[in-house]
């Protein structure tokens, strides 16, 4: 009554939101934009050989989908793709340790793609990697092996290899991890540009300083985020950290300026309050993860990853939320 019922209610609400803003738009795009053309083409080809049998089928399809189905424009399709990408991004960054275990050990990909001797790997928590590899059965050609930092499918979940603690940067330092990060952030970043363009068009062009601030902060954020992906923490740690700090700072300034503009074009508090709350929680989450003391315990190793995962999820979701 007091534990399971509230949890079940929350799960149902998340499911309803996911259905309304993700599944339903996708289904409408598929049916309205694609199915009618595919079915019509198939029935048309069939009618060329047997019109008597094809016409009832065509009439049934027209009855089910309507004679003139609405085809979405490119912006509407982009909004749907953004919704899907942001949900997948949340799942990706918040489940990185689980995905690492799933790919590396449950599916056994680690022993197929990595060959670093276990005795040469150092754990951030001071653990013995050889014992970890033996416990997890990471044998290859009679030798215990593991993945070095930046090797494999995703960063090793068993311990933070050659790092003091876990982080998003550590997990995605591999080629597949970086590629998935780029894929899932492309549309949310595009939505940031769409929202900025909309607000710039609505706010009085006389506010030159505000216009310049919104444009320049978004440009620097986009470039520095791309450089963050181009410079993995395992290979170029100093440059990587500099890019992370840069894109976080300019994202905060951009969203703060955006909130100021939203006050001028929407109802008082609408939109701007959403930006302030999500930005504030994002800053708090990243700050909490950064300030939490690093230690050998699970939370001591994972606090920073969890803080930046929540903070980055809020930041990437901000523009899509405004579009929704």
Condensed to tens digits (0 to 9), the pLDDT of residues 236-284 reads: 999 999 999 999 999 999 988 888 776 665 544 556 777 788 888 889 9
Gap between the Cα atoms of 85 and 99, Å rounded: 17
pLDDT band for position 75 (cuts 50, 70, 90): confident
pLDDT at 27: 58
pLDDT at 73: 72
pLDDT at 267: 47
| Beta strands, E only, 129-234 | 139-140, 143-146
pLDDT at 23: 63
pLDDT at residue 180 above 80? Answer: yes
Summarize the confidence of residues 81-104 as an average pLDDT.
Answer: 92
Residue-averaged pLDDT of the chain = 81
SS3 114: coil
- What is the four-CA torsion angle of 38, 39, 42, 48, rounded to 10 degrees? -130
| pTM for the structure as a whole | 0.77
Gap between the Cα atoms of 54 and 144, Å rounded: 64
* Beta bridge partners of residue 165, listed in sequence order: none
How many Cβ atoms from other residues are within 10 Å of residue 243's Cβ?
22
Q: Contact 50/104 with Cβ under 8 angstroms? A: no
pLDDT at 224: 96
In SS3 terms, 36-69 reads as HHHHHHHHHHHHCCCHHHHHHHHHHHHHHHCCCC
Task: Give the pairing of strands 143-146 and 139-140.
Answer: antiparallel
Q: Contact 46/57 with Cβ under 8 angstroms? A: yes
Work out the percent of the chain whose per-residue pLDDT is above 70.
72
Using the structure block, give the residue that is written with the tokens 């591999």.
Answer: 174
pLDDT at residue 35 above 60? Answer: no
């Amino acid at each position: 009554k007091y534990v399971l019922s509230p949890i079940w209610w929350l799960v149902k609400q998340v499911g309803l939101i996911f259905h309304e803003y993700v599944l339903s738009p996708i289904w409408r795009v598929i049916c309205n934009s694609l199915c009618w053309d595919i079915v019509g083409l198939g029935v048309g080809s069939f009618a060329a050989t047997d019109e008597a049998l094809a016409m009832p089928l065509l009439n049934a399809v027209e009855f089910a989908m309507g004679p003139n189905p609405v085809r979405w424009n490119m912006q509407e399709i982009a909004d749907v793709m953004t919704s899907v990408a942001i949900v997948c991004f949340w799942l990706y960054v918040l489940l990185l340790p689980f995905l690492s275990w799933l790919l590396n050990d449950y599916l056994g990909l680690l022993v197929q793609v990595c060959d670093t001797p276990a005795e040469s790997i150092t754990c951030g928590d001071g653990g013995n990697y050889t014992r970890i590899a033996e416990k997890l059965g990471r044998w290859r050609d009679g030798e215990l092996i593991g993945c070095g930092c930046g090797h494999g499918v995703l960063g090793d979940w068993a311990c933070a290899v050659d790092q003091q603690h876990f982080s998003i940067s550590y997990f995605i330092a591999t080629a597949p991890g970086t590629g998935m990060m780029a894929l899932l952030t492309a549309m949310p970043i595009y939505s940031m540009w769409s929202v900025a363009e909309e607000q710039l068009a609505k706010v009085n062009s006389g506010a030159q300083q505000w216009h310049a601030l919104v444009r320049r902060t978004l440009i620097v954020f986009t470039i520095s985020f791309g450089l963050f992906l181009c410079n993995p923490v395992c290979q170029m740690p100093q440059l990587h950290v500099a890019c992370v700090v840069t894109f976080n700072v300019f994202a905060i300034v951009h969203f703060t300026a955006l909130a100021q503009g939203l006050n001028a074009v929407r109802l008082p508090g609408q939109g701007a309050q959403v930006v302030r709350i999500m930005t504030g929680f994002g800053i708090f989450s990243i700050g909490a993860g950064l300030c939490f003391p690093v230690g050998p315990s699970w939370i001591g190793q994972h606090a920073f990853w969890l803080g930046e995962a929540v903070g980055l999820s809020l930041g990437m979701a901000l523009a899509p939320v405004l579009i929704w």
